[in-house]
Amino acid sequence: MERKWWKEGVVYQIYPRSFYDTNGDGIGDLRGIIEKVPYLKELGIDIIWLNPIYASPNDDNGYDISHYQEILKEFGTMSDFEELLEKLHEVGIKLVMDLVVNHSSDEHPWFVESKKSKASPYRDYYIWRGPSEEGKEPNNWRSFFSGSSWQLDETTGDYYLHLFSKKQPDLNWENKKLREEIYRMMHWWFEKGIDGFRMDVINLISKVEGLPSAPKEEEGPDGYAWGGNYFVTGPKVHDYIKEMNREVLSKYDVMTVGETCDVTVEEGILFTGENRKELNMVFQFEHVNIGQGREGKWTPIPWKLTELKRIMDKWQTALHGKGWNSLYLNNHDQPRQVSKFGNDTVYRKESAKMLATYLHTLEGTPYIYQGEEIGMTNVYFEDLSHYKDLEILNKWEEIKRTKSLTEEELLSGVHVNGRDNARTPMQWNASLNAGFTTGVPWLEVNPNYTTINVEEASKDSNSILNYYKQLLALRKKHLIMAYGQYHLILPEHEQIYAYTKTLESETWLVLLNFSGEEALFQKPEEIEVVSSPQLIIANYPVEQMPDLNTIALKPYEARVYKIS
Ligand code: ISL
Ligand code: CA
């Protein structure tokens, strides 16, 4: 086991637009983060991952970058950024930035030049193709954000590829000059002192040669198909990452996490293997994608605890000693974890604490998404017009054309899985707009801010917030939390998620009830317990000396014992 700061640290993800607004324009800003540094320090986190703060026309909230070395004006200035970095470093918190290089904005000077003519020196920075034989798009790939992945450009009559919105043209990684520009930009940020990158959809940067269409029979009512086979973890992706590591990453002591949608565990080992010289860890998606129906995330279906176990067990086991896991249940693209995996009504507090216990006792690096530490929930706006996320708005347009879902059906899907669930402003206190802004927030606050907010949670010793503080303090004391080997017990149980963690001669037993009903834990005989097991943490009051052979776990109860 090789010790590393990025394995032992806990990451806190900040979505700057929704974190804290200091000038009343309704948009969170860098000075807002600076003001909250003491809050973050007290919470006990070690690393911040900041969603994009670069110059951007904001088609996709900053994931469409028009200048990689400038700060979005709404967020502040470069000197605000430098001050933030300095203040974080002063208190020992590291800063990881978002690296979005599968695509840029269509307003990036590279694209503006690329578009001008087929002879432009920047033409090949992007992926251009002529129309198909039928005079249509070059292939049938559907964009992540609905419709074709291709946009016709009148200037030359060619189409450009955009796996995401049409304002996010894909960069052409085959072009060596482009890759060198990206590496130069990365050096520039590292020289400034940042501590790492979270790499947006980094496993999509290599496309299969010829960009073949997906099979015709896979085309949906919109006429397009999922083209993932031709760009998810494509043929040259490992070469590119290795090159990036050689040219840039290896020169600094930094942390890297690849956002790798649809990545398999085999690929996960290749990306994160210590001898591979690629990345430190990846975000896999299998566990957050459970519970999807006919129209994917828009038509949620019930999921089973045994599915979650199977997926997480696979990743925990396969990467042990071989790679490294990142641990998350939500982020800015996902519903709130207490709403998806817990219970956001009767057992909100209990289930939020139970989920936290889970994440922080798995092997890997845990990520807390802003507001998770106070148990923020999904938002249930009453109609689609309240939403701002382009994924939701584009889907709405799509269903108006295809009629594949009614608006009511889409709305209920959005309530469960829409990205804006995670993006409503951070709830600081019970004053107007949750204390997030004195102006009009860019996205409405969740009306439950009057009871769910940081101020309230700080006053309550029994709050979710205080439980997170306890967990993070424990993690600093006990290496077993980050490094201990996970071993699943009771794999078939549909209510209880139980496992042991072992590091050298020490073993912990983690018991989690993932249901709203009482559940009876019966300890398998092969799990040996010393005569006086020690309670490490629990989310309900627990009797002093319980008999660990059988325990009736209360709804969403979590207990961790040191059993040897
Ligand atoms: O949220 C999703 C759709 O259901 C995901 O498919 C998401 O689009 C995918 O994980 C990629 O996410 C990242 O890149 C996008 C950006 O919109 C997301 O916010 C970002 O996390 C394009 O840059
Ligand atoms: Ca502001």
The complex scores an ipTM of 0.97
Q: Ligand 2 centroid vs 441 CA: distance in angstroms?
A: 9
Q: Is 390 a member of any domain? A: no
Q: Ligand 2 centroid vs 61 CA: distance in angstroms?
A: 14
Q: Ligand 1 centroid vs 144 CA: distance in angstroms?
A: 8
Number of domains in the chain: 2
| DSSP bridge partners of 94 | 47
**Hey, what are 276's tokens?**
């591979």
Question: Is the beta carbon of 60 within 6 A of some atom in ligand 1?
Answer: yes
- Is the same domain home to 4 and 87? yes
Tallying the residues shown for the chain, one arrives at 564
Q: Is 347 a member of any domain? A: yes
Q: Ligand 2 centroid vs 77 CA: distance in angstroms?
A: 12
- Is the same domain home to 441 and 555? no
How many Å apart are CA 489 and CA 295, to the nearest integer?
Answer: 34
**Which of 63, 285, 421 maximizes ligand 1 atoms within 8 Å of its Cβ, making it the mutation to test the pocket?**
63
Pick the atom of ligand 1 nearest to 102's CA.
23
Question: Is the beta carbon of 389 within 6 A of some atom in ligand 1?
Answer: no
pLDDT (tens place) for every residue of the chain, 564 residues total = 799 999 999 999 999 999 999 999 999 999 999 999 999 999 999 999 999 999 999 999 999 999 999 999 999 999 999 999 999 999 999 999 999 999 999 999 999 999 999 999 999 999 999 999 999 999 999 999 999 999 999 999 999 999 999 999 999 999 999 999 999 999 999 999 999 999 999 999 999 999 999 999 999 999 999 999 999 999 999 999 999 999 999 999 999 999 999 999 999 999 999 899 999 999 999 999 999 999 999 999 999 999 999 999 999 999 999 999 999 999 999 999 999 999 999 999 999 999 999 999 999 999 999 999 999 999 999 999 999 999 999 999 999 999 999 999 999 999 999 999 999 999 999 999 999 999 999 999 999 999 999 999 999 999 999 999 999 999 999 999 999 999 999 999 999 999 999 999 999 999 999 999 999 999 999 999 998 999 999 999 998 778 999 999 999 999 999 999
Q: Is 548 a member of any domain? A: yes
How many Å apart are CA 504 and CA 464, to the nearest integer?
Answer: 31
Q: Beta strand 496-503 with 506-513: parallel, antiparallel or unpaired?
A: antiparallel
Q: Which ligand is nearest to the CA of 202?
A: 1
- Is the same domain home to 2 and 73? yes
Helices (H), 148-236: 176-192
Question: Is the beta carbon of 98 within 6 A of some atom in ligand 1?
Answer: no
Q: Got the DSSP string for 331-388?
A: -TTS--HHHHTS-SSTTHHHHHHHHHHHHHHSSSEEEEETTGGGT------SSGGG--
- Is the same domain home to 462 and 372? yes
- Pick the closest to residue 360 from 512, 284, 472, 503 (CA basis): 472
pLDDT of residue 544: 77
Rg value, the chain, Cα? 24
- Take atom 18 of ligand 1 and give the residue whose Cα is closest: 333
Q: Which ligand is nearest to the CA of 144?
A: 1
- Take atom 23 of ligand 1 and give the residue whose Cα is closest: 63
Question: Is the beta carbon of 201 within 6 A of some atom in ligand 1?
Answer: yes
**Hey, what are 278's tokens?**
């690629």
- Is the same domain home to 333 and 458? yes
Question: Is the beta carbon of 164 within 6 A of some atom in ligand 1?
Answer: yes
**Hey, what are 230's tokens?**
């031709």
Q: Ligand 1 centroid vs 333 CA: distance in angstroms?
A: 6
Pick the atom of ligand 1 nearest to 390's CA.
17
Around Cβ 534, how many Cβ atoms within 10 Å?
10
- Is the same domain home to 495 and 471? no
Q: Is 369 a member of any domain? A: yes
Q: Which residues contact 305 (CB under 8 A, 6 or more apart)?
A: 493, 494, 495, 497, 514, 515
Between the CA of residue 262 and those of 101, 203, 285, 552, what are the distances in Å? 18, 9, 6, 37
Between the CA of residue 238 and those of 75, 233, 279, 293, what are the distances in Å? 34, 8, 10, 32
CA atoms within 13 A on the CB side of 22: 13
Contact 15, 51 (CB under 8 A): yes
pTM equals 0.98
Between the CA of residue 507 and those of 63, 499, 533, what are the distances in Å? 43, 10, 10
- Is the same domain home to 529 and 454? no
CATH code assigned at 435 = 3.20.20.80
Q: Which ligand is nearest to the CA of 143?
A: 1
Burial of 161 (0-12, 13-18, 19+ CB in 10 A): buried
Question: Is the beta carbon of 261 within 6 A of some atom in ligand 1?
Answer: yes
Question: Is the beta carbon of 333 within 6 A of some atom in ligand 1?
Answer: yes
pLDDT of residue 1: 74
Pick the atom of ligand 1 nearest to 103's CA.
23
Question: Is the beta carbon of 420 within 6 A of some atom in ligand 1?
Answer: no
Q: Which residues contact 380 (CB under 8 A, 6 or more apart)?
A: 415
Q: Ligand 1 centroid vs 136 CA: distance in angstroms?
A: 26
Q: Which of 465, 482, 499 is the last residue of a domain?
A: 482
**Hey, what are 269's tokens?**
């080992």
Question: Is the beta carbon of 395 within 6 A of some atom in ligand 1?
Answer: no
- Alpha-carbon dihedral angle through residues 484, 488, 494, 496, given to the nearest 10 degrees: -50
Q: Which of 482, 505, 530 is the last residue of a domain?
A: 482
- Is the same domain home to 364 and 494? no
Q: Is 249 a member of any domain? A: no
- Take atom 15 of ligand 1 and give the residue whose Cα is closest: 63
Kind and range of the H or E element at 267?
A: helix 265-272
- Is the same domain home to 76 and 31? yes
Q: Which residue has the tokens 């960009």?
A: 211
Between the CA of residue 353 and those of 188, 538, 550, what are the distances in Å? 40, 9, 22
Q: Which residues contact 321 (CB under 8 A, 6 or more apart)?
A: 1
pLDDT of residue 484: 98
- Is the same domain home to 498 and 466? no
Pick the atom of ligand 1 nearest to 297's CA.
4
Measured in whole angstroms, the distance separating CA 534 from the mean position of its chain's CA atoms is 34
- Is the same domain home to 543 and 474? no
Q: Which residues contact 447 (CB under 8 A, 6 or more apart)?
A: none
Q: Ligand 2 centroid vs 187 CA: distance in angstroms?
A: 29
Q: Is 205 a member of any domain? A: no
Q: Which of 460, 482, 504 is the last residue of a domain?
A: 482
CATH code assigned at 515 = 2.60.40.1180
Q: Which ligand is nearest to the CA of 414?
A: 1
> Which residues are catalytic, by number?
200, 259
pLDDT of residue 543: 83
Contact 445, 437 (CB under 8 A): no
Question: Is the beta carbon of 363 within 6 A of some atom in ligand 1?
Answer: no
CA atoms within 13 A on the CB side of 509: 23
- Alpha-carbon dihedral angle through residues 300, 305, 306, 312, given to the nearest 10 degrees: 90
Pick the atom of ligand 1 nearest to 285's CA.
10
Q: Is 517 a member of any domain? A: yes
Q: Is 272 a member of any domain? A: no
Contact 452, 464 (CB under 8 A): no
Give the domain range for residue 362.
Answer: 1-99+325-378+422-482
Pick the atom of ligand 1 nearest to 64's CA.
23
Apex 389 CA angle, 386 and 390, nearest 5: 120
Between the CA of residue 515 and those of 131, 347, 351, 512, 548, what are the distances in Å? 53, 10, 9, 9, 20
Q: Which ligand is nearest to the CA of 27?
A: 2
Helix and strand numbers (H, E) in the chain are 16, 22
- Is the same domain home to 374 and 462? yes
pLDDT of residue 546: 84
Pick the atom of ligand 1 nearest to 100's CA.
23
Q: Ligand 2 centroid vs 177 CA: distance in angstroms?
A: 37
Q: Ligand 2 centroid vs 216 CA: distance in angstroms?
A: 48
**Which of 103, 105, 143, 144 maximizes ligand 1 atoms within 8 Å of its Cβ, making it the mutation to test the pocket?**
144
Question: Is the beta carbon of 74 within 6 A of some atom in ligand 1?
Answer: no
How many Å apart are CA 540 and CA 549, to the nearest integer?
Answer: 19
